[in-house]
Amino acid sequence: MPHIAPFSLTVFSAGCIINLCALPKQTADGGKRLHKYIIYKRRDTMGPIDIRSWISDLTERLKAIFGGRLVYVGLQGSYRRGEADAKSDIDVMTVLDRLEPIDLKTYRAAVGAMPYADKACGFICGRAELAAWPRHELFLLQRETLDCFGALAPLLPAVQDGDIRAYVQINAANLYHAVCHRALYAAEPANANALNSAYKPVFYILQNLAYLKSGVFAPTKNELLPLLTGIDREVFLAAVALRSGEADDRDSERLFSLLFRWCQTTLDAAAGETGGVR
């Protein structure tokens, strides 16, 4: 059987960007076929919800409630990347001059009064807590957050390559632990739904890992894919297949083993044992 390699193709049409991918998939007779799916379809509206109007309305509500105490509002996640679909949450980051317990109730009420409140999630903190936040999380935080009110960069301390490497190592270790724990104790150790959740951190780890290797930060899946090779590319495409629903329970054992091996490889590289990360 000849080797069949993964490929991707980006198509620009009618205001949309569609990235088509294919990766080898095992067939019943032991052969392989190319299984095609879409990484994402990006529209000018940035997703099913008019997110620009939504975040603007929320910001105005927060300004009216908190006044000068409101330091920052930012948009994160798939809506920020232009990759949102019907399953996507609206990830909002908010910073106040200081955060008190009563502010959490007030903020919850403000968000709860918004349309699509059931989609809202995200992060809120005080300015001092943000300045003291673990540095390994700050590289991705800054690059994954779109400024909607105020500017995030001046609120964050400087980040070094060692901080980025720590992000890879810490999150790969957490994922490795979660994979092993599920294999040992979950009622259904490997099904497509559970694997979709398990694979979710892969994209963020790969963003940091690709930056360490190439010096290029890829903010979207389409931009990240060309930077990946080998098992990094394979696990990325598997995550996309799970997210799109193109992978099912028949693929579960293979995808579970792939994620396990990738966690091992990434941990070794991050620790410098294989030289995979500079």
Q: Residue with structure tokens 């009216």?
A: 64
Provide mean pLDDT across the span 14-37: 40
Q: Cα separation of 97 and 74, whole Å?
A: 15
Cβ proximity of 146 and 76 under 8 Å = yes
Cβ proximity of 270 and 208 under 8 Å = no
Tally: H helices and E strands in the chain: 10, 7
Predicted local confidence at residue 263, as pLDDT: 97
Predicted local confidence at residue 30, as pLDDT: 44
More confident residue, 251 or 28: 251
Q: Provide the H-helix boundaries in 100-158.
A: 101-112, 127-131, 138-143
Predicted local confidence at residue 270, as pLDDT: 84
Q: Cα separation of 195 and 200, whole Å?
A: 9
Cα-flanking dihedrals φ and ψ of residue 40, to 5°?
Answer: -160, 160
Beta partners for 149?
73
Cβ proximity of 132 and 104 under 8 Å = no
Provide mean pLDDT across the span 225-241: 96
pTM: 0.79
Say yes or no to pLDDT of 113 above 80. Answer: yes
Predicted local confidence at residue 22, as pLDDT: 44
Q: Cα separation of 27 and 33, whole Å?
A: 7
Predicted local confidence at residue 47, as pLDDT: 53
Per mean pLDDT, which range of 65-74, 186-195, 211-220, 234-243 is the poorest? 186-195
| CATH fold of the domain at 51-155 | Beta Polymerase; domain 2 (3.30.460)
- Domain locations in the chain as residue ranges: 51-155, 160-270
Confidence at 269, pLDDT banded by 50, 70, 90: confident
Say yes or no to pLDDT of 4 above 50. Answer: no
Predicted local confidence at residue 127, as pLDDT: 98
